[in-house]
């Protein structure tokens, strides 16, 4: 049995998906963003569960992730958000992947591969409406579309962009991006380029900007039970999906003046009962939470004392007399009526919940709970 593990509650995942559905209705397709191993939650079990729950599309960052989904039997369309590499063209066409496209050389490669295969390559044009990262700059869109018009085996299935500040309470920049997006869509319309999906909504926009839903939305973080930020105006009631648990290896009394761990970063001011638990920064738990984080033992919050080391953390359990070796400890998640959220950890670690999930989710010991799917 593992000394620490990550639990993934698939019932919570389904609940969160249903919250997205409730927000966008049945006429808008949901593209579940499952890149980066579903933000650390396990891409294949998450995608299978969401496919069953009705996700119409999946989104990954790279082609190899899409191929992994295809090999696992996922038949829904898959958008490759970071686009393709030159060597991916044949696989994109063979497996009907939808690459984000922002380079003409990629379009030409897809044209050749699709012609060769006797198929159409379906693409989603990625526009830069203000994020400033990937995407066709809007002044270049006209010439880009002129070139694209000559490629008969490349079909524009979608046109999309990404919002930089949809999770902020001030939506002014999102509205600017939306205005630019609308003008770009009009350019396609003026050229009689028809496509099925315009899309721009991430979780922030799913919740706060209904006019950004168009024909498809791309939620990520809200599926995993977190708001993109605390500034969301109209938050959905979400349930956390991931928990990080471990066990007490040893409990002992140490006298006042005794120091704990590397660097002697904590010195006991009184006789203290120390529980050493089997988790560390190698498990994605941030080292910056040394002397700052908390854990749950017998449903009670206890402080981390001393430094978080690679595989061990030390807790002050003086006020939890029943704490004993082999007891379960929760670093992220719920125990009794107490809960430690990814947001709480992220705030203390000066980061965002996304990064906490991705880091903790690298733990190889994952347990999937409450699947609605019958085991084969
Ligand atoms: C292009 C794109 N769309 C949608 C998402 C999902 O964003 P969120 O997790 O904030 O919902 C991401 C995530 O990074 C993304 O890169």
Percentage of the chain surpassing pLDDT 70?
A: 99
Q: What is the pLDDT of residues 216-231, one digit of tens each?
A: 999 999 999 999 999 9
Enclosing domain of residue 305: 242-340
Does residue 347 belong to any structural domain of this protein?
no
Q: What is the pLDDT of residues 277-310, one digit of tens each?
A: 999 999 999 999 999 999 999 999 999 999 999 9
Radius of gyration of the chain (CA): 24
The answer to whether the predicted template modeling score (pTM) of the entire model surpasses 0.85 is yes
Using CA positions, which residue lies closest to atom 14 of ligand 1?
A: 220
The pLDDT value given to residue 374? 65
Using CA positions, which residue lies closest to atom 16 of ligand 1?
A: 81
Does residue 352 belong to any structural domain of this protein?
no
Can you give the CATH number for the domain in which 271 is found?
A: 2.40.37.10
Mean pLDDT across the chain, nearest whole number? 97
CB 182 within 8 A of CB 161: no
**170: pLDDT strictly greater than 80:** yes
Does residue 39 belong to any structural domain of this protein?
yes
Distance CA 372, CA 190 (A): 46
Q: Are residues 157 and 246 part of one domain? A: no
Q: Are residues 51 and 192 part of one domain? A: yes
Count of domains in the chain? 2
Does residue 117 belong to any structural domain of this protein?
yes
Which residue has better confidence, 10 or 375? Answer: 10
Q: Are residues 162 and 247 part of one domain? A: no
Q: Are residues 205 and 246 part of one domain? A: no
Please indicate whether residue 280, judged by its CB atom, sits closer than 6 Å to ligand 1. Answer: no
Does residue 167 belong to any structural domain of this protein?
yes
Q: Are residues 138 and 210 part of one domain? A: yes
The pLDDT value given to residue 364? 85
Q: Are residues 38 and 179 part of one domain? A: yes
CB 151 within 8 A of CB 125: no
Q: Are residues 76 and 113 part of one domain? A: yes
The pLDDT value given to residue 340? 98
Please indicate whether residue 83, judged by its CB atom, sits closer than 6 Å to ligand 1. Answer: no
DSSP 312: -
Q: Are residues 327 and 218 part of one domain? A: no
Distance CA 194, CA 183 (A): 15
The pLDDT value given to residue 27? 97
Q: What is the pLDDT of residues 82-131, one digit of tens each?
A: 999 999 999 999 999 999 999 999 999 999 999 999 999 999 999 999 99
Q: Which of 158, 190, 224 is the last residue of a domain?
A: 224
**149: pLDDT strictly greater than 90:** yes
Does residue 46 belong to any structural domain of this protein?
yes
Distance CA 372, CA 13 (A): 11
Tell me what the mean pLDDT of segment 255-281 comes to: 98
Please indicate whether residue 203, judged by its CB atom, sits closer than 6 Å to ligand 1. Answer: yes
Please indicate whether residue 220, judged by its CB atom, sits closer than 6 Å to ligand 1. Answer: yes
Distance CA 96, CA 78 (A): 8
Which of ligand 1's atoms lies nearest the C-alpha of 202? Answer: 11
Q: What is the pLDDT of residues 153-167, one digit of tens each?
A: 999 999 999 999 999
**376: pLDDT strictly greater than 50:** no
Does residue 310 belong to any structural domain of this protein?
yes
The pLDDT value given to residue 375? 54
Q: Are residues 203 and 154 part of one domain? A: yes
Can you give the CATH number for the domain in which 70 is found?
A: 3.20.20.10
Which of ligand 1's atoms lies nearest the C-alpha of 166? Answer: 10
**132: pLDDT strictly greater than 70:** yes
What does the block give as tokens for 99? 């690459």
Does residue 72 belong to any structural domain of this protein?
yes
The DSSP secondary structure of 253-316, one letter per residue, reads EE-TT-EESGGG-EE-SS-EEEEEES--GGGT--GGGTTT-EEEETTEEEEB-S---SS-EEEE
Q: Are residues 187 and 272 part of one domain? A: no
CA of residue 181 to ligand 1 center, whole Å: 17
The pLDDT value given to residue 263? 97
The pLDDT value given to residue 276? 98
Q: Are residues 197 and 262 part of one domain? A: no
Is 132 strand, coil or helix? coil
Q: What is the pLDDT of residues 304-327, one digit of tens each?
A: 999 999 999 999 999 999 999 999
Please indicate whether residue 335, judged by its CB atom, sits closer than 6 Å to ligand 1. Answer: no
The residues annotated as belonging to the active site are: 35, 262
The pLDDT value given to residue 56? 98
CA of residue 266 to ligand 1 center, whole Å: 40
Q: Are residues 195 and 56 part of one domain? A: yes
Percentage of the chain surpassing pLDDT 90?
A: 98
Q: What is the pLDDT of residues 33-81, one digit of tens each?
A: 999 999 999 999 999 999 999 999 999 999 999 999 999 999 999 999 9
Q: Which of 224, 251, 284 is the last residue of a domain?
A: 224
Please indicate whether residue 202, judged by its CB atom, sits closer than 6 Å to ligand 1. Answer: yes
CA of residue 196 to ligand 1 center, whole Å: 20
């Amino acid at each position: 049995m593992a000394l620490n593990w990550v639990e993934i509650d698939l019932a919570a995942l389904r609940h969160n998906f249903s919250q997205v559905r409730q927000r966008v209705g049945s006429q808008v397709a949901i593209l579940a963003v499952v890149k980066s191993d579903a933000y650390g939650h396990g891409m294949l079990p998450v995608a299978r569960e969401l496919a069953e729950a009705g996700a119409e599309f999946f989104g990954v960052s790279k082609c190899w992730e899409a191929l992994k989904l295809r090999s696992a039997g996922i038949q829904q369309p898959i958008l490759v958000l970071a686009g393709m590499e030159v060597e991916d063209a044949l696989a994109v066409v063979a497996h009907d992947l939808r690459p984000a496209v922002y380079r003409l050389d990629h379009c030409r490669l897809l044209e050749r591969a699709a012609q060769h295969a006797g198929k159409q390559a379906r693409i989603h044009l990625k526009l830069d409406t203000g994020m400033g990262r990937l995407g066709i700059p809007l002044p270049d869109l006209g010439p880009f579309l002129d070139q694209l018009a000559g490629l008969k085996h490349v079909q524009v299935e979608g046109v999309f962009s990404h919002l930089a500040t949809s999770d902020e309470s001030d939506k002014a920049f999102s509205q600017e991006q939306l205005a630019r997006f609308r003008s770009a869509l009009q350019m396609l319309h003026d050229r009689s380029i028809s496509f099925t999906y315009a899309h721009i909504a991430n979780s922030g926009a799913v919740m706060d900007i209904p006019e950004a839903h168009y024909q498809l939305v791309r939620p990520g973080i809200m599926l995993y039970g977190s708001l993109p930020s605390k500034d969301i105006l109209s938050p959905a009631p979400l349930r956390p999906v991931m928990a990080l648990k471990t066990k007490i290896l040893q409990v002992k009394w140490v006298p006042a003046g005794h120091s704990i761990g590397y660097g002697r970063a904590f010195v006991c001011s009184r006789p203290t009962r120390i529980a050493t638990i089997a988790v560390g920064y190698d498990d994605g738990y941030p080292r910056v939470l040394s002397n700052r984080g908390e854990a749950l033992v017998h449903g009670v919050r206890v402080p981390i004392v001393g430094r978080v080391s690679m595989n061990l953390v030390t807790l002050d359990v003086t006020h939890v007399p029943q704490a004993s070796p082999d007891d379960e400890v929760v670093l992220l998640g719920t125990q009794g009526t107490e809960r430690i959220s990814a947001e709480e950890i992220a705030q203390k670690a000066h980061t965002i919940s996304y990064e906490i999930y991705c880091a903790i989710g690298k733990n190889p010991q994952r347990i999937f709970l409450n699947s609605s799917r019958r085991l084969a």
